[in-house]
């Protein structure tokens, strides 16, 4: 089914539905008491059932992805930095833009264990497809006088043997593609770069909009991927750069609507076998104040 | 930013990235042993920390949403029915198409506690925006000889006082809109029905594709909503019918790729205050066999 969106010449300003009105106020306040459980204590709980770091595999991951740290270290450092700013589990809304893949839930769940249920901005390959309206709704859900932590990025698998772009999955003998959407986009782009792509009449199909968008947004990186020593290692970084186009538009449009402060953590999620810790390569960790001004680059503290 | 998707005349068949190849096989198998913990036992654990049913509020919800059951009853019945088919936590992939709103995570998390991390097909208002490619990737992640349970639907809030379309949120004094995306679409549609909508030059904006699509797909229901006794109560049902257009296309295109069997549970997610159980009004519970044939309507067993 293909919809003629262009045939509609009217669009009510959808953000108006999220403006708040005093008429809706009630006398009871449902907030958890601030500081009830510190976020840094929750990090320990969130990783209690996770495997310990495997030094040999850790070295393998870091030789392939210099700058990557395991998710336990990531959460520990992020939470410590945000505690200094005033973020705690009772006053912080987590928003994520991560891939649809169930493996992308691993990082999400770890942070959900700390800050509570996430608003989900993401879709295939981790692009923030919930868009401006999603951001508007999300910012209305930030606790009163509270904060927002967004985590975004593509993901990539690495097997125990160090193969990039594949990963062991629980219950499946096949060591399958990760990220599938990214690899599909990479194959599409390779076809264009090589001049071997076939005409497909299902371009712009409404029921496959997200993949079409991923494949559109990665187009400028054909040469970069073709030149890469290892295409599968370069792919998530190219996708991250593609994604920044959307992320920047959405954050810049909506950043001033966040109540107290906004932290934007972007990077590459690195999925590993079920018995290993996952990893993350942070590429952006920006802090915006209540007026939406970028006031601190916290990325150096994650290195 | 508006992308000229139409300017690209090539589209590689993205599904090809998810076909499996014997080259990727490894000797280790990571599956949890089948039947290790029965799903029905996990239901009890999943709801251990949830509130008990409140008889007065239960009556209020059911008078507004006849056919709704609380999530504990829903999970209990769904899991029992699927156990008879062979679904267990080790051989089942959960796929969801629920709203981006963090309150939509409540139902999702309850089923995640039973079947493990979900593949996320959903976006604003619960539409399955990950589309055909998302379904293709998802079906490749179903455990070997395993099953898939999909849960889809819009959501709606109900306050303790019975106001529909709003809900108490933890940490926020304002009793705010729920579902925000749905209410934005409803306001847009009301403007069209009344002939009062304003021209908006940002139609088809790439960074707000999902809300544009929700507002396109709900267009046929202007009269139905205008005639409803209570617009906010009718809204999720109209959205459900809108959503079925996309769900049916995506399921029918991909249903044969599910390994052993596919259960499709659709309905209205009803969000309540943090100290109440959430509810669900099931509207579809279909079972498809390994060949993608619809072989059983299980909806009567959820009433």
- The confidence score (pLDDT) of residue A145 equals 94
pLDDT by residue (tens digit) across A50-100?
Answer: 999 999 999 999 999 999 999 999 999 999 999 999 999 999 999 999 999
- In chain B, residues with a C-beta closer than 8 Å to the C-beta of A174 are 20, 24-25, 144
The residue count for chain B: 303
- In chain A, residues with a C-beta closer than 8 Å to the C-beta of B120 are 100, 102, 104-105, 120, 122
Running DSSP on this structure, what letter comes out for residue B258?
Answer: S
- The confidence score (pLDDT) of residue A278 equals 98
Who among A118, A170, A210 is closest to B102 (CB)?
A: A118
Which tops the pLDDT comparison, B85 or B3?
B85
Mean pLDDT of B40-59: 95
CA distance A135 to B171: 18
* Band (B196; pLDDT cuts 50, 70, 90): confident
Mean pLDDT of A277-294: 97
Distance from B63 to chain A by nearest Cα, in Å? 22
- Determine, for residues A172 and B144 on separate chains, whether the beta-carbon distance falls below 8 Å: yes
pLDDT by residue (tens digit) across A150-179?
Answer: 999 999 999 999 999 999 999 999 999 999
- Determine, for residues B102 and A109 on separate chains, whether the beta-carbon distance falls below 8 Å: no
Name the closest residue on chain A to residue B118, using Cα atoms: A102
- The confidence score (pLDDT) of residue B53 equals 94
- Determine, for residues B106 and A124 on separate chains, whether the beta-carbon distance falls below 8 Å: no
- Determine, for residues A124 and B134 on separate chains, whether the beta-carbon distance falls below 8 Å: yes
- Determine, for residues A213 and B200 on separate chains, whether the beta-carbon distance falls below 8 Å: no
- Determine, for residues B10 and A213 on separate chains, whether the beta-carbon distance falls below 8 Å: no
Name the closest residue on chain A to residue B90, using Cα atoms: A171
Distance from A267 to chain B by nearest Cα, in Å? 20
Residue spans of beta strands (DSSP E) within chain B: 69-70, 92-97, 118-120, 147-152, 155-157, 166-169, 172-177, 261-271, 279-288, 294-297
pTM for this structure? 0.86
- The confidence score (pLDDT) of residue A236 equals 98
- Determine, for residues B273 and A120 on separate chains, whether the beta-carbon distance falls below 8 Å: no
- The confidence score (pLDDT) of residue B195 equals 87
Which of B219, B195, B143, B175 minimizes the C-alpha distance to A7?
A: B219
- In chain A, residues with a C-beta closer than 8 Å to the C-beta of B209 are 129, 131, 209, 213
Q: Is the pLDDT of residue B18 over 50?
A: no
Which whole-number Å values give the CA distances from A110 to A70, B24, B30, in the listed order?
12, 29, 21
Which of B279, B263, B294, B285 minimizes the C-alpha distance to B91?
A: B263
- Rg (alpha carbons) of chain A, rounded to whole number: 20
Distance from B129 to chain A by nearest Cα, in Å? 7
pLDDT by residue (tens digit) across A250-278?
Answer: 999 999 889 999 999 999 999 999 999 99
Best B14, B149, B219, B220 member to test A by mutation, with max A CBs in 10 Å, is B14
Q: How many CB atoms lie within 10 A of CB B296?
A: 16
Q: Is the pLDDT of residue B203 over 80?
A: no
Which CATH number is associated with domain B56-301?
Answer: 3.40.1050
Which whole-number Å values give the CA distances from B103 to A200, B98, B178, B295, in the listed order?
39, 10, 9, 33
- Determine, for residues A16 and B205 on separate chains, whether the beta-carbon distance falls below 8 Å: no
Distance from A30 to chain B by nearest Cα, in Å? 5
> Hey, where are the domains in chain B?
56-301
- The confidence score (pLDDT) of residue A30 equals 36
Who among A175, A208, A274 is closest to B132 (CB)?
A: A208
φ, ψ dihedrals at A235, nearest 5°: -55, -50
- The confidence score (pLDDT) of residue B61 equals 98
DSSP string, chain A: ----GGG--B---GGGGG---GGGB-S---PPPTTSS-HHHHHHHHTTTSPPP-HHHHHHHHHHSTT-EEHHHHHHHHHHHHHHHT--TTTEEEEEE--SSGGGHHHHHHHHHHH-SEEE---GGG--TTHHHHHHHHHHTSPTT-EEEEEE--EEEB-TT--BTEEEETTEEEEEESSHHHHHHHHHHHHHHHT-PPB-TTTT-GGGHHHHHHHHHTGGGHHHHHH-SSHHHHHHHHHHHHHHHHHHHHHHHHGGGSSSEEEEEEEEEEE--TTS--EEEEEEEEEE-TTS-EEEE-GGGG-
CA distance A195 to A221: 15
* Band (B189; pLDDT cuts 50, 70, 90): very high
Count contacts between A and B (CB, < 8 Å). Answer: 353
Lowest mean pLDDT of A2-6, A247-251, B157-161, name the range: A2-6
Percent pLDDT > 70 in chain A is 87
Burial of B28 (0-12, 13-18, 19+ CB in 10 A): exposed
The answer for residues whose C-beta is within 8 angstroms of residue A239's C-beta and 6 or more apart is A125, A126, A154, A182, A185, A214, A218
- The confidence score (pLDDT) of residue B6 equals 36
Who among A14, A137, A202 is closest to B101 (CB)?
A: A137
**Across all residues in chain A, what is the average pLDDT?**
88
Lowest mean pLDDT of A201-205, A242-246, B117-121, B267-271, name the range: A201-205
Which of B180, B257, B218, B146 minimizes the C-alpha distance to A17?
A: B180
ipTM for this model: 0.83
Name the closest residue on chain B to residue A13, using Cα atoms: B200
Who among A1, A15, A202 is closest to B11 (CB)?
A: A202
* Band (B29; pLDDT cuts 50, 70, 90): very low
φ, ψ dihedrals at A127, nearest 5°: -65, 145
- The confidence score (pLDDT) of residue A201 equals 73
Who among A25, A103, A170 is closest to B32 (CB)?
A: A170
- Determine, for residues B12 and A191 on separate chains, whether the beta-carbon distance falls below 8 Å: yes
Distance from B178 to chain A by nearest Cα, in Å? 10
Which of helix, strand or coil describes residue B282? strand
**CB of B21 within 8 A of CB of A235?**
no
pLDDT by residue (tens digit) across A14-59?
Answer: 333 333 333 332 323 333 455 478 899 999 999 999 999 999 999 9
- The confidence score (pLDDT) of residue A63 equals 97
CA distance A133 to A130: 7
Who among B8, B117, B172 is closest to A216 (CB)?
A: B8
Percent pLDDT > 90 in chain A is 81
Which of B187, B206, B160 minimizes the C-alpha distance to B54?
A: B160
Distance from A67 to chain B by nearest Cα, in Å? 27
């Amino acid at each position: 089914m293909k919809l003629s969106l262009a045939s509609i010449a009217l669009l009510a300003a959808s953000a108006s539905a999220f403006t708040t009105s005093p008429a809706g106020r009630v006398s009871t306040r449902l907030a958890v008491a601030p500081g009830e459980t510190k976020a840094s204590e929750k990090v320990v709980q969130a990783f209690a059932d996770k495997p310990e770091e495997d030094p040999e595999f850790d070295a393998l991951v870091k030789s392939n992805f210099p700058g990557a740290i395991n998710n336990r270290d990531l959460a520990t450092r992020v939470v410590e930095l945000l505690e200094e700013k005033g973020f705690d589990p009772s006053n912080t809304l987590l928003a994520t833009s991560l891939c649809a893949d169930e493996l992308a839930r691993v990082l999400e769940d770890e942070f959900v264990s700390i800050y509570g249920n996430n608003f989900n901005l993401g879709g295939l390959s981790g692009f923030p497809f919930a868009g401006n309206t999603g951001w508007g709704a999300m910012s209305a859900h930030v606790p009163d006088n509270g904060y927002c932590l967004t985590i975004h990025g593509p993901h990539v698998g690495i097997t125990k043997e160090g193969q990039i772009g594949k990963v062991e999955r629980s219950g499946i003998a096949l060591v399958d593609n990760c990220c599938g959407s990214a690899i599909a986009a990479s194959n599409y782009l390779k076809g264009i770069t090589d001049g071997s792509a076939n005409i497909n009449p299902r371009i712009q199909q409404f029921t496959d909009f997200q993949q079409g968008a991923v494949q559109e947004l990665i187009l400028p990186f054909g040469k970069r991927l073709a030149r890469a020593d290892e295409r599968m290692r370069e792919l998530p970084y190219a996708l991250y750069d593609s994604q920044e186009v959307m992320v920047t538009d959405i954050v810049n449009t909506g950043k001033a609507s966040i109540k107290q402060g906004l932290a934007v953590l972007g990077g590459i999620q690195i999925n590993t076998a079920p018995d290993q810790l996952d990893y993350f390569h942070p590429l952006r960790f920006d802090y915006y104040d209540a007026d939406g001004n970028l006031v601190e680059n916290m990325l150096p503290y994650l290195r």
